[in-house]
Amino acid sequence: MSLGFIMCKLLAIFARIYSKNDMKRLLFTLIALLFILASMAKEDLLSNFPAGSTPQEIGRRLAYHFIDGKHVYWSDTKNLGYHEVCTWNGALMWGRAMGDNIILQKMKDRFDDFLANYKENIPAKNHVDFNMFGSLPLSLYASFPQEESYKVMGLDYADSQWELPKNAKESEKRLARQGYTWQTRMWIDDMYMITIVQAWAYRTTGDRKYIDRAAHEMVKYLDELQRPNGLFYHAPDVPYYWGRGDGWMAVGLTEVLKALPKDSPYYKRIMKGYRKMMKSLLRYRNDEGLWNQLIDQPDFWTETSGSAMFTYAFIRGVKEGWLPAKTYAPAARKAWLALIPYINSNDDVTNICVGTGKKNDFNYYLDRPKMTGDYHGQAPYLWCAAALLEKE
């Protein structure tokens, strides 16, 4: 029986008992009560989890597992991998949400050790996947504001993403003249890699130029890449709805909206694109309540990294009031509970698609190897745990 039905029945009963003025006061009281009850129901769905599946427990398992993990590098370069940066940021997010100062200090110690002993692996500032490293020192700075060098380092990565190199190509100059980063390449992955460092720069400084950059870029990608069904091809010339690729887009939209002031001229356009994507994702869930390696292919296998990214976008949407809780809170809960069995006894996430470049080949996506413990999967699980713990 719905809350609305109960309220209508109560109103009918009280109408026979009270005067018109009393009824007005009663109506306002019942409406307020309805909102309170709806809020409580939402909170219960996103907070009351069975033992072993709480965000406190799952986050602790994955965050502490990360402490002694080996560094991973991007492709065939020496640059620290963006997927490790994402996991590092996830452990910090969870630590702040939990108030766990031990994990926060351990994340700081890992970073200081990296700067001291792995100088050759500090990412360059010449590629979209490298520049996102700047989000890490800025995230650390949020917990350790005495470390001014973290702020300086992070802002340098954010600024260099919009500063043309001396040997810039004409295409890169043209992008700059239009207000876009010269690192624009129209892959949907970019909408997390670009926006996360700019969003963190805005949070750190309060300077609107950073979030305006991210929002301006996001609108370009939405206008050019979002399909009528709300999803995104991996790239304009690769007509496949790859799970993690769309996952990067989902979390990029989420992070921009979380930071973007509502008076921004970009806000409504980005919210429209976000809601359109979330509505489509509801439709493409598999029987587990998760998503497949190719989102629209029911015979493909369940892929955990993209699924966790979509779950994170749902959780944030409900908690921020962007999505109707009646529809999306149950979906977020089901997805979170379905994700947990994919964590093995070593605290490694399974069924993670390997790092994947674009390719116009259906079987290429079907046959991608599955990894266990890869940071592409560990990271979004931590984001979900943190989002479930954070207060609205």
Every domain of the chain and the residues it spans = 46-389
- The confidence score (pLDDT) of residue 25 equals 62
- The confidence score (pLDDT) of residue 230 equals 97
- The confidence score (pLDDT) of residue 75 equals 78
What secondary structure does DSSP assign to 260-296, as a single string?
A: S-TTSTTHHHHHHHHHHHHHHHHHT--TTSS-BSBTT
Sign, CA dihedral 291-292-294-298, equals negative
- The confidence score (pLDDT) of residue 392 equals 63
pLDDT in tens, 184-205: 999 999 999 999 999 999 999 9
- The confidence score (pLDDT) of residue 265 equals 98
Reading the block at residue 207, the tokens are 């300077």
- The confidence score (pLDDT) of residue 20 equals 60
pLDDT in tens, 149-184: 999 999 999 999 999 999 999 999 999 999 999 999
Task: Let me know: does 155 contact 168? Beta carbons within 8 Å.
Answer: no
User: By C-alpha distance, which of 65, 102, 103, 90 is closest to 382?
Assistant: 90
- Digitized pLDDT (tens) for each residue of the chain, 392 residues in all: 444 555 555 556 655 666 666 656 655 554 544 444 454 445 689 999 999 999 999 999 999 999 999 999 987 789 999 999 999 999 999 999 999 999 999 999 999 999 999 999 999 999 999 999 999 999 999 999 999 999 999 999 999 999 999 999 999 999 999 999 999 999 999 999 999 999 999 999 999 999 999 999 999 999 999 999 999 999 889 999 999 999 999 999 999 999 999 999 999 999 999 999 999 999 999 999 999 999 999 999 999 999 999 999 999 999 999 999 999 999 999 999 999 999 999 999 999 999 998 899 999 999 999 999 999 999 999 999 999 999 86
Please name every residue paired with 352 in a beta bridge, in sequence order, or none if there are none.
371
Among the CATH numbers 3.30.450.20, 1.50.10.10, 3.40.50.300, 1.10.101.10, which is that of 46-389?
1.50.10.10
- The confidence score (pLDDT) of residue 77 equals 84
- The confidence score (pLDDT) of residue 67 equals 97
Q: Is the pTM of this model over 0.85?
A: yes
**What angle, 0 to 180 degrees and rounded to 10, lies between the N-to-C axes of helices 190-205 and 208-225?**
160
Supply angle C-alpha 116, 118, 123, rounded to 5. Answer: 115
- The confidence score (pLDDT) of residue 1 equals 44
